[in-house]
Structure 1
Amino acid sequence: MTRRRDLVAYAVAGVAIVAFAILLAFALLRLAETEAEMRRNEGDNMLWAISRAQSAALLLDSAVSRQTSLPQTDAEVERRYNVVLSRLTLLSEGPQLRYMGELGLADEIEAAARETRALEPRILGLSFGDAETAIAIHETLAPLIEGLGRAGNQSMVRQWEATGARVDRQRAAIGQVIISIVAIIVLGIFLSLTLLRAMAERQRVGQFLSRERETAELYRGFVALVSHQFRTPLAVIDSAMQRVLRSGKAMPRSEIDRRASQVRAEIAGLTNLLDATLDVVRLEAGQVTATPAQCAINELVERVKARQLAQTPGRAIRVSIADNVPPSVTTDPVLAEQILTNLLSNAVKYSPKTEPVSVSVTAENRQIRFAVEDRGIGVPHDEQAKLFSRFFRASTAQGVPGTGVGLSTSHQLAQLLGGALEFVSHAGIGSIFTLRLPDDWAGPTVQPARARAFA
């Protein structure tokens, strides 16, 4: 079903892109046609040529009249005549001749032009007082002037009609271009939304795959934990009970008590392991909340020390509290004690029995710092980034019982208290884990779920 939706989405996007290209090409074509049509001025040119020819004929007729009534040189009449001939030549060639044909005046104008050209001897021989020749020239020019006037009028009407049609075409073209642009914008919005939707879907799928990978890693880690940490105590319990069953009444009471204590110790270890695993689950599900209250710092540290000594009597645990540390801090005492218990337990577990473990409390920058230091196996530098991951155990911890959930739980609890858990560690030398808590309750903090080391 997902593949079918993807194919449909690709098909729709492809059709939209093709339509986008077609509309864009159509809009550009119509704009080019409109621009080319706006540059056409054939009617304007012809109207100008016709009007200039008519004006030249009128000026020639006026010059002939003045020549016969007023003594002047012949140069004026000859010049006017040459201008008329040049105008008539322009109208009787090429596109101009076709245009006059479209007006239905080509033959009439051509005949009048031939007659005008035939006047050359008379015009050049015109003299003062030659009224008869002047009248003959006027009668020859009159049809030409009249025809050019009709041609000018028809050209003007035709130009108006062409201009109106051109405006209508341009208006229609502009409307089509506007519609095309609106359609392009709509398609662009559609493609953008489709792209954003695809990106969101890809991000959602990526997040889903990331969660799946995390779940798979959690499952593998949990399976490894169960197979290693659960199997060994169960094997010990099973072996002890089999020995009791096989021996029956022949087993001494002291041996039965020893094996019973061993079974109870293994069961206690399994219980602690299950509790640690459930803590991780509750934290991931957001079921653990902090309840801030006044917590006496000295009492908190002494409780953690006493609990650890009850489990490992004889271990040297040194406690020091700086003079500038306030008597109490506002935090969740239960969660803070759980963090420090985990840190102190790890310090004792991963350091030689002959080496002391120290707990120091200092105050700095409105923070209370609980530092737990050991001289144990330490954590290799290339593994420190994973130290707060669930079920992770350093390579130096091989052979030492553990679940790999204590530091992950402590890291998340520190954030829940509005503080942070930091460390500095060197393989073979030891580690210092520091719990930083605000001296005044500020609520939970959000930090990346990775180890944070400090020098």
Structure 2
Amino acid sequence: MTRRSDLVAYIVAGTASVAFVLLLVFSLARLLDTEAELRRNEGDNMLWAISRTQSAALLLDAEVSRHVGTISRKAAELDKRYNVMLSRLNLLSEGPQRRYMRELGLDGELEKVAGALRALEAQILEMSYGDAQTASAVHDLLQPLIEDLGRAGNQSMVRQWEATGARLDNQRAAIVQVIISIAAIIVLGAFLSFTMLRAMAEQQRIRLSLLRERETAEIYRSFVALVSHQFRTPLAVIDSAMQRVLRSGNQMPTDEIRQRASQVRYEVRGLTSLLEATLDVVRLEERQVTARPGNCHVEDLIQRVVARQSEETPERAFSLEIGNKVPQSIETDRLLAEQILDNLLSNAVKYSPVTEPVSVSVRAQNRSIFISVHDRGVGIPPEEQERVFSRFFRGHGTAGIPGTGIGLNISSQVARLLGGELSFESQAGIGSAFTLKLPEKWPGVQ
């Protein structure tokens, strides 16, 4: 089913890509046609040529009349008008102008007038005062041409208007087509973008799902190992103690019974703590743990945690150092802060020799306090440090030392819940220093 869906997605995306390219090519072609249409101005050129020829004919006719009726008229002006008239006729008798005039039915008339003018060239250029015969011949020759050119100009103007209207219609249609194509391109582009983003999101979802599955599998393996070791050992001790009591009957001394009962209670407390730690992880993930900030006296907090640990391990030595700039109190959840520090002190005692002291130092910086717990224990190798706060993780150097691998994970999450941070520095075989950073004022995070 997934392969079929992928195949359909590829076909749809490929079809959309091809349509995208075709629409681009079509839009480009239509734009090029429109640009070429804008450059076509044949009608304008012909109207200009016809009007200029008609004007030249009128000016030549007028100059011939003035030359005949004026005694001292200069021949140069007549010569100029004659040559201009011939050049205009030649312009209309060549190239595209000739084809255009042929469509109007005037190409023969133009050739006829041009030939007649050349035949009268000598008479025109040598005209003198009172030469009415030549003037009449020129007038009779030019007058029909002037009328024909006027009609040709009107026809050219009409054709130009029609061509312009058709060109505007074509351009308007081309613009509409280009707009539609651009809109289609935008839609296809949005579709392709959506398809690509959805594919990327799906790949990311699959990748995250696979990562979560791997993490879940790793957590499951770690939890199974934890249960098999941390649960089995105390249960075996409890079972052994109870079997010994049962076998002894009423003959076991009271002191031994009391000793074995204490041993059973100790193991039961360990199991209870393990279950509570596991439940704390679940509650944190379900956001069921909330902070209740209040005024917390820093020195009392530290001394209370150290005193509690001293009662549990009276053979251990502890030192406490509080900096001068540390405020007397901060705004935080005292119980959650104690939970973190209890775990840090317990780990420091657990993973360091009995002869080595555990020190606690407090300093203030940038409106935050830093509570550090130092030990001279086994330390953490560099290759294991990035997994220290992972759930159920226990390093290779912790073999034979009781623990769940949950405490630091819980402490790290609770520190963030308090708006702070839990960090550490460690060297294998030298010791570790875990530091809890807490803001002086409650940041308002939950």
Task: Please say which of residues 223-232 and 99-108 is displaced more in the overlay.
Answer: 223-232
* 1:349-371 CA distance string (max 9 Å, x none): 11111222234455665545443
- Give CA-to-partner distance per residue, 1:143-177, whole Å, 9 cap, x none: 33332232222222222222222222223223333
Q: Is 1:333–2:305 an aligned residue pair?
A: no
Per the alignment, do residues 444 and 122 of structure 1 end up closer, same or farther by CA in structure 2, a change over 3 Å counting?
closer
Any idea what the Cα deviations from partners look like across 1:228-271, whole Å, max 9, x if unmatched? 333333444555566677x5659855776665554444343333
Q: Which amino acid aligns with 2:35?
A: E
User: CA contact under 8 A between 1:49 and 1:87: conserved in structure 2?
Assistant: yes
TM-score by length of structure 1 reads: 0.83
Computed over aligned residues only, the root mean square deviation of the Cα atoms, in angstroms, reads: 3.4
**Corresponding letter in the other structure for 1:182:** A
Matched with 2:108 is 107
Q: 1:99: how far off?
A: 0.6
Show the 5 A alignment for 1:373-412: 373-412=374-413
Superposed CA offset, 1:386-414 (max 9, x none): 22221222332233222111111122222
Contact 1:109 1:148 in 2 (8 A): no
In structure 2, distance between residues paired with 1:11 and 1:210? 30
Report the alpha carbon displacement of residue 124 of structure 1 after superposing the two structures with TM.
4.8
Deviation larger for 138-147 or 63-72: 63-72
Partners of 1:375 and 1:201 in 2: CA distance: 49
Q: 1:44, CA displacement in angstroms?
A: 1.7
Would you say 1:161 and 2:174 are equivalent positions? no
Quick one: structure 1 residues 98 and 439, their matched pair in 2 at CA, closer, same or farther if it must change by over 3 Å? closer
- Between the aligned partners of 1:342 and 1:269, the Cα distance in structure 2 is 14
The alpha-carbon distance between structure 1 residues 70 and 307, as it changes in their structure 2 partners (threshold 3 A), is: closer
Alignment check: 8 A CA contact 2:245 2:252 kept: no
**Cα displacement string for residues 367-390 of structure 1 (whole angstroms, at most 9, x for unaligned residues):** 454433222112223433322221
| SS of equivalent to 1:30 | helix
Q: 1:30 to 1:442 in 2, by over 3 A?
A: closer
2:118 aligns with 117
- Structure 2 SS opposite 1:355: coil
Which amino acid counterpart does residue 28 of structure 2 have in structure 1? L
The verdict on how the C-alpha distance between 1:95 and 1:257 changes in structure 2, with shifts beyond 3 A counting, is same
SS in 1 for 2:50: helix
User: For residues 292 and 120 of structure 1, do their structure 2 counterparts lie closer, same or farther at Cα, with a shift above 3 Å needed?
Assistant: closer
Aligned ranges 1:63-212 → 2 under 5 Å: 63-71=63-71, 72=73, 74-124=75-125, 126-212=127-213
CA distance in 2, matches of 1:183, 1:355: 77
CA change 1:74–1:414 in 2 (3 A) is: closer
- Determine the C-alpha separation between the residues in 1 that align with 2:392 and 2:158: 95
Cα deviation digits, residues 171-222 of structure 1 (max 9, x gap): 3223333333333334444444444444444444444444333323322321
Is the CA contact (8 Å cut-off) linking 2:320 and 2:360 kept in structure 1?
yes
Q: Look up the match of 2:39.
A: 39
Q: What's 2:27 paired with?
A: 27
Structure 2 spans left out of the alignment, 5+ residues:
none
CA–CA separation in structure 1 for the residues paired with 2:443 and 2:144: 108
Question: Aligned equivalents of 1:56 and 1:369: distance in 2?
Answer: 104
CA distance in structure 1 between the partners assigned to 2:5 and 2:81 by the alignment: 84
Q: Which residue of 2 aligns with 1:51?
A: 51
3-state secondary structure, aligned to 2:403? coil
Shift of 1:126: 4.0
Cα distance in 1 for residues equivalent to 2:47 and 2:240:
121
Name the CA distance, whole Å, in 2 between partners of 1:264 and 1:42: 111
| Amino acid in structure 2 at the alignment position of 1:23 | L
| Inter-CA distance 175–361: structure 2 relative to 1 (3 Å threshold) | closer
Q: Distance in 2 between matches of 1:442 and 1:196?
A: 37
| CA distance in structure 1 between the partners assigned to 2:125 and 2:324 by the alignment | 133
TM-score by length of 2: 0.84
Identity of aligned residues (%): 67
Distance 1:242 1:83, change over 3 A: same
AA of the residue aligned to 2:138: I
Report if aligned partners of 1:359, 1:370 keep a CA contact under 8 Å in 2: yes
Q: Tell me which residue corresponds to 1:284.
A: 285
Q: Deviations over 1:40-60 (max 9, x none)?
A: 121122222222222223333
Report the alpha carbon displacement of residue 299 of structure 1 after superposing the two structures with TM. 5.3
CA distance in 2, matches of 1:328, 1:137: 122
Structure 2 residue 346 is the aligned partner of structure 1 residue 342: no
Please tell me whether the aligned partners of residues 109 and 147 of structure 1 are also in contact (alpha carbons under 8 angstroms). Answer: no
Matched residues in 2 for 1:121 and 1:363: separation? Answer: 119
Structure 1 counterpart of 2:230: 229
The answer as to whether partners of 1:419 and 1:444 remain within 8 angstroms in 2 is no
SS of 1:433's equivalent in the other structure is: strand
Whole-Å Cα distance in 2 between the matches of residues 116 and 39 of structure 1?
36
Which shows bigger deviation, 141-150 or 292-301? 292-301
For the residue of structure 1 that corresponds to 2:64, the secondary structure is helix
| Structure 2 letter corresponding to 1:171 | R
Distance 1:29 1:16 in 2: 20
The one-letter amino acid paired with 1:64 is: V
Residues 326, 362 of structure 2: 8 Å contact kept: yes
Separation in structure 2 between the aligned mates of residue 392 and residue 270 of structure 1, nearest angstrom: 18
Distance 1:120 1:440, change over 3 A: closer
